[in-house]
Every structure is written in C-alpha cells, then in structure tokens.
Structure 1
Amino acid sequence: MTSTTSSALRTAPQQVSTSRERMRSAIQAAGMLPVLVLLAVGFHLLGGYRFLSGQNLSIVAQQAAINIVLASGMTFVILTGGIDLSVGSILAASAMGGLIVSLMHGFGFLAIPACLFVGLLIGAINGVLIAGIRIPPFIATLGTLTAVRGIARLMGGDRTVFNADLPYAWIGNDGIAITSTLVIPWLAVIALLVVVASWFVLRRTVLGVHIYAVGGNPSAARLSGVRVGAVLMFVYCLSGLLAGLGGVMSSARLYAANGLQLGQSYELDAIAAVILGGTSFVGGIGSIWGTLVGGLMIAVLTNGLVLVGVSDIWQFIVKGLVIIIAVALDRFRQPAART
C-alpha cells in the first residue's frame, strides 16, 4: 500500500466526521423552523388552501405578536436560569393603568407611558425579591402573579374599563398595507422590533455575555467579576417592561382592559414559545430567534386548528401534544441528549 493511499484512507473518516458535524450544526441552527414550515403547509392543504392567504397570514402575525413580545422578555429571564410567572398579570395591570389614564381629560398622551411604567415597576419589584432578598424566582413570581392580578382588578373596580376613543388604538387595529389582501399589522412590526433589539443586546453587548454567563454558572460568573444581582435585576425589569408593552398592545386591540380575564395563561404561552425555541430551562443556552419561531408555532397551531375545524376541546389537547413532541425531538437533536 502506497503512502498516498494510506493518507487517503486516514483522511476519509475525518472528512465524513467533518461533514456530519456540519450537518448537525445546520440542523441545530434551524431548530424548530422546519417544524413550523411543515405545520403551515399541512394546515394550508387541510384547510382548503386558506392558511397561506395574505389575509390569514396577517391574522396569524397579529395573533402571535403579543406572545412574542412577552416571550422575548421571558427569554432573558430563562437564560439566567429563572422564570417569570407574573407576565400575564403584569399585562393586565398595565393595560388597566393605560385605559384609566386615557380616560383622564387632557392626559391621554400619557396612556402608553403609564402602561410601560406599571410594567417596569412590577418587574423591578420582582427583581428586588429575587436579586435582593434572594427568594427563588418561581416562588417570587408566583406570588406577584396572584397579587398583581388582584391589583389589576382593584384598579378597575373589578369591571371592564372601555374607551371607544383610545388614542393609541391604531397600534392594535392598523398596519402597513403591502397588497390589497396582505397587511402587516403594527402589532407584528412592534414584535419584530423587540426581537431585533433583544438579539442586539444578547449577541452584541457585554450585558448579553453576562446574561449567558449567569445562566451557565452564577458562581463562576460572580468570581469572574459579573455583577450577578445587577444582571438579574435587569432581566426582570425588562420582562416587566415588555409585559407592559404587551398591555399597550392588548388594550389597543380591544379598546378595553379587564383585570380578571385579560392576560390569563399568557405566561404559559410565553414559556412554551421560549422552550419550543430551544432555550434551556436551566439557563445559559438559547436564542431570541428560536423564541420568535416558537411564538409563531403556537400562533400557527391556534389558527390552523380553527381553519381545519377542530373543536375547542381538542385544540388544547393537540396543541399540548405537539408542544411536547416538538420539544422532545429538539432535545433529542442536541448533543447533550446523546451523552
């Protein structure tokens, strides 16, 4: 056997291994995107070729927007190894604050700042409880979930607050017309801007590096000079602020807010979107683009099941099973799952 042949035989396995690694990296980078595409195509075929119409895609984008905004804030929190169960209640309280201010003569222009301030304030309270007093995130935000829901009900006198002349209603009901049937809702534009800004913070700033470091190993991050408490304070304030933005979006769409019903279970959809997007529950691993795909998957499931004619009861069952299967497959793809 010549030296050339021997060298070629040694090189061949290396090339195969390199090709496999490239393919594995490509699959991991794609994440849940292929599943999203398959769901969209499947619902289009089963739903009488209506799903991929311009009008329906606009509806899907509108339905996904609020969850994507909440899930963006949740991504920051989960990347640090935490959880925020209070975002649905914060959304309700923020929306209620915005509606109340909008009804005050001469102060309507302060409605959106009021929503954002309420969200930021409650997020800061979560941050103090978790980073300052060191209450476990699950317990702290479970407490604020209940307390803030009660505050939201008190703010409106336990009734629905309505404003037919809401000054920012255009956010929830208008959009950018691309064609006669395809309109990009302002809600979707806001959600995309939030995702882009989140990506910039996570991938292009020192703060983003610190967030991943805290989620990966808080003790090592602290020894490396990372101000863990400040990072935790930031992510919970951001989560509250984005929940406040969700309150703006929800109230703009409905012209109303209700402390009891608005935002119910939104935290579960936000967490599902983050986990579907590949972010690890233990922290330190994940991306905001994955969260975007996860949020779209939930909206596609909800809209597609309605188009296909699945009953409300079975929609819950199918959505739950699809989320479990999708996450299980995604975890199986990861290298850690095979070690």
Structure 2
Amino acid sequence: MFIIILCAVIYIAIEVPAFIKLPSIVNIISLTAAKLPIALGIAGCIVLTGTDISAGRVVGLTACISASLLTTTFKVFPNMTSAPSIALVILIVLVVGAVVGLVNGFSVAKFKLHPFIVTLSTQLIVYGCILMYLKNGTNNGQTLSGLTDGYRNLVAGTLFKIGDTAVPMYVLYAVILTAIMWVIWNKTTFGKNMFAVGSNEEAANVSGVNVTRTIIMVFVLAGIMYAITGFIDGARIASANANTGLNYECDAIAACVIGGVSFVGGIGKISGIVIGVLLLQIIFAGLNFLSVDANMLYIIKGLIILIACAIDMRKYLVRK
C-alpha cells in the first residue's frame, strides 16, 4: 500500500506541481491533525479484532453540542444569554463520548455481541439524538454557526506561521494526543492488556487479565477521542449540522489498516496510525488537485480498505 500510494503521489506532483508547494503541504498536515484523534480511538477497537462504526456520528453529536453552546446566537437553547466556559463544554462532550463508548464496550464485553452489530445500533441511536437535538428551541434542524471567537481561536487560531501560511492550533493538540496515546499503548498495564486481549482473549483471561474491564476501557477511550474530534471539527469548520462526521469512521478505519493495525487482533503501532492518516490525506488531497469527481472518492476509499485488508489477511495466513 505504501508503494502504491507513493507512486500515486509522485504522479500527482508531476502532473500538478502546486501539490508539493508549502500551502498544500500545510493543508495536508492540518487535515491529518484533524482526523488523527478519531483514528487513534478506533485503532484500539481494531486491535481487539473489532471495529466501531458509530465513531462518525459521535463526532457529529459532540460537534453539534459544542457549536450549540459556544455560539453568539442560542437557537437550540433560546433561554441562554451567554456561552458557558469552554472548559465546561469540553467536559460535557467528553462525558457524552465516554457514555457512548461505555455502552459499546459494555455490550461487547458483557453480552458477547459482535462490535459491528453493537456500534451499528449505537450509530443509529446517536444519529437520532443528533436530529432531535438540532430540532430543539428555534433551530428547527438548521446548521449551527456563529461560534464565539474564543472557541474558534482556541481550535483554529494560528499556532505559528511558515512564511505567509498559518499552522492552526489543533495541530499541536493532535501531537499531544498522539504522545498520550503512545504512552497508554506502550507504557501502561492497560495498553499491554489491550494487546493481550486482542491477540488471544482466552489466554489473556487465564493469565489474569480482566478482559471485560479492558474491552470497556478501550471503547470508552475511543469515545473520548471521537468527542475531541467533534469539538475540534465544530470550530475548524465553523459550523455543525446533522451531516457533520458522516463517514469519518471509514477514513479512520482505512488509515488504521494502511498503517498496519490488523483486524486479526493484537497488532498495531501509534506511528503506523499517524503514517496511515497522513498517507490517506495526501492521496485525497492529490485527487482533488487532479479534479477527480468527488463521488469517485467513495469508490477509492472502499478499494483502499478492501486491498489493505486483503494484504493484511494474506500476511497473517502466511505467518500462520
């Protein structure tokens, strides 16, 4: 996959030289930073040989909550006169993400349901919550906008400039989250237990690992990462609606598989996830430079996931 994408990037750079100029590179880095938290969250579910297709809708719900509270026009809550503190809103969205993750993890761990079925159910539930939430007050399902300057500056403000090109603040947040997740995955008992459960659940249980708690914690952590993505996305896009976060989980899963997180379980690295997200954003940005039909991107995403999973399974069978 790396070789195929590298060849594609070289071809795009030759066809459209602007693709490798500074503004384009900074844009790719910014898009990578925006999509990295959700990929870091969903990767843990894949390590457990599962997945989480509710991720995009959780991003949408938390983005809508953030945009409805940190705004200058309170359409969802018309009785409010001023925006609450940003810290309080962050806490609210983190709790919302964690609750969805808790439901997913508890259902998978306690009821032994397949993660696909569980997260398909919560995806529909969360989407229904989004639609009802946007109907509150005088909003009537419309797009939420008019965000406060404090919220916008905190997320999308300028971190520093390279020439005349600004690097947004959320790039820093993505770096911090990546470092935190690296420590969790590699330097904590929870991280070791996660890989043990993903490799062989029965063996992990016999070895004294609390399998139920580990699975629940993985999904809760994933939900928190989705919530952070939603909070960032609300300010990054400067609006939120029922379609915010749509298909984000597809991009995240594709990035994880490209980055070496295996669906056979117990295999994956944080560095691989970062590279996977970066490569995916490079190829999508390149296709936009080539003026490829936006509808074709869905076909390409599907092919990337299919080919990457096929290669991964082939490697697993050869090792086995």
1:169 aligns with 152
Alignment of 1:198-209 (within 5 A): 198-209=181-192
Contact 2:255 2:280 in 1 (8 A): yes
Residue 207 of structure 2 is aligned to residue 230 of structure 1: no
Between 1:35-44 and 1:211-220, the stretch displaced more is 35-44
- 2:101 counterpart residue number: 123
Q: 1:117: how far off? A: 1.9
C-alpha displacement at 1:298, in angstroms? 1.6
Counterpart of 1:129 in 2: which secondary structure?
A: helix
Question: What is the match of residue 275 of structure 2?
Answer: 293
Mapped pair 1:250 → 2:250: no
Unaligned 5+ runs, structure 1: 1-31
Cα deviation, residue 59, structure 1: 1.0
Q: 1:195 to 1:40 in 2, by over 3 A?
A: farther
Alignment of 1:51-200 (within 5 A): 51-103=19-71, 104=80, 105-109=82-86, 110-157=88-135, 158-200=141-183
Query: Tell me, what secondary structure is at the counterpart of 1:162?
Result: coil
Q: Secondary structure at the match of 1:249?
A: helix
Q: Shift in Å at residue 35 of structure 1?
A: 5.0
- Distance (whole Å) between structure 2 residues aligned to residue 123 and residue 166 of structure 1: 30
- What per-residue deviation string (whole Å, max 9, x for no partner) do you get for residues 59-94 of structure 1? 112222232211101111111122111111111111
Q: Equivalent of 1:263, from 212, 225, 245?
A: 245
- Does the CA-based 8 Å contact 1:163-1:255 persist in structure 2? yes
Alpha-carbon offset, residue 171 of structure 1: 4.2
> Which one-letter code corresponds to 1:145 in the other structure?
Q
For the aligned residue pairs, the C-alpha RMSD in angstroms reads 2.2
Aligned length: 305
CA 173–142 in structure 1, closer or farther in 2 if over 3 Å, else same: same
Report deviation, 1:119: 1.0
Change (3 A) 1:106 1:330: closer
Q: Does 1:41 align with 2:22?
A: no
- Tell me if structure 2 keeps the 8 A contact 1:64–1:299: yes
Q: How do residues 17-32 of structure 1 correspond to structure 2 at under 5 angstroms?
A: none
* Partners of 2:150 and 2:110 in 1: CA distance: 38
| Cα deviation digits, residues 122-146 of structure 1 (max 9, x gap) | 1112122222333321111110000
Measure, in 2, the Cα distance between the counterparts of 1:191 and 1:34.
26
Kept after mapping to 1: 8 A contact 2:257/2:308: no
Measure the CA separation in 2 of the matches of 1:322 and 1:127.
28
Describe the SS at the equivalent of 1:159: coil
User: Which stretch shows the higher mean deviation, 161-170 or 278-287?
Assistant: 161-170
Q: Is the 8 A contact 1:54 1:183 kept in 2?
A: no
Alignment partner, residue 305 of structure 1 = 287
Q: Distance in 2 between matches of 1:218 and 1:128?
A: 16
Does 1:337 pair with 2:310?
no
Q: Does 1:217 align with 2:200?
A: yes
Alpha carbons 1:70, 1:243 under 8 Å: kept = yes
Rg bigger for which structure?
1
Name 2:260's counterpart in structure 1: 278
- The 10-residue stretch of structure 1 (117-126 or 205-214) with the greater mean CA deviation from structure 2: 117-126
Distance 1:142 1:166, change over 3 A: farther
Equivalence for 1:8: none
CA contact (8 A) 2:182 2:270 kept: yes
TM-score (norm 2): 0.87
Cα distance in 1 for residues equivalent to 2:45 and 2:316: 24
AA aligned to 1:238 is L
Deviations 1:103-157 (A, max 9, x none): 4415143222222221112111212222233332111111000000110111121
Q: Is the CA contact (8 Å cut-off) linking 2:257 and 2:305 kept in structure 1?
A: no
CA distance in 2, matches of 1:313, 1:36: 20
CA distance in 2, matches of 1:177, 1:325: 38
Q: 1:124 to 1:336 in 2, by over 3 A?
A: same
Task: Give the Cα separation in 2 of the matches to 1:131 and 1:320.
Answer: 29
Runs of 4 or more, structure 1, over 6 Å off, are none
- More divergent stretch after superposition (123-132 vs 230-239): 123-132
Q: 1:169-205: per-residue Cα shift (whole Å, max 9, x none)?
A: 1244333324214443222222222222111111122
